[in-house]
Amino acid sequence: MERVRVRVLAFARIRELLGGAQRSLELSPGARAGDVLPALAGEVPALGALADSTRIARNGRIVSLDEPIRDGDEIALLPPVGGG
């Protein structure tokens, strides 16, 4: 089976909980966008509570949680936005 290694970008509260703005993550073959945060929550349990409010961008575009993830993707974890 194909290995799926992605680069995760984290922002704001998620970045602080994760302890960094970037990291790499290996996912199971067939992984989908919605699998990324739960995979990280295994390591940082507090992230689990944020899954419902976090949007996922795959290679710079917001995607649904069932979007398939490919090896080499950049996955951004976006908390609810609030600039201004």
Partner 1 sequence: MYAIVREPIDPRALETAIGAHCGRYGGVATFLGTVRDRAADGRPVVALEYEAFEPMALAEFERIAAEAGERFGDVALAIVHRVGDVAAGEISVAVVVAAAHRRAAFAACEYAIDALKSRAAIWKKERYGDGSGNWLPGMP
Q: List residues near partner 1 by CB under 8 A.
A: 9, 11-13, 15, 53, 55, 57, 60, 76, 78-84
What CA–CA distance (Å, rounded) separates 84 from 18?
25
What CA–CA distance (Å, rounded) separates 1 from 79?
32
Closest CA to 9 of 83, 82, 75, 61: 75
Instruction: Rank residues 42 and 60 by Cβ distance to partner 1 and give the closer one.
Output: 60
Residue 22's H or E segment, with its range, is strand 22-27
Smallest separation (angstroms) from partner 1 to the CB of 40: 17
Smallest separation (angstroms) from partner 1 to the CB of 15: 8
Overall size of the chain counted in residues: 84
Instruction: Rank residues 12 and 46 by Cβ distance to partner 1 and give the closer one.
Output: 12
Smallest separation (angstroms) from partner 1 to the CB of 52: 8
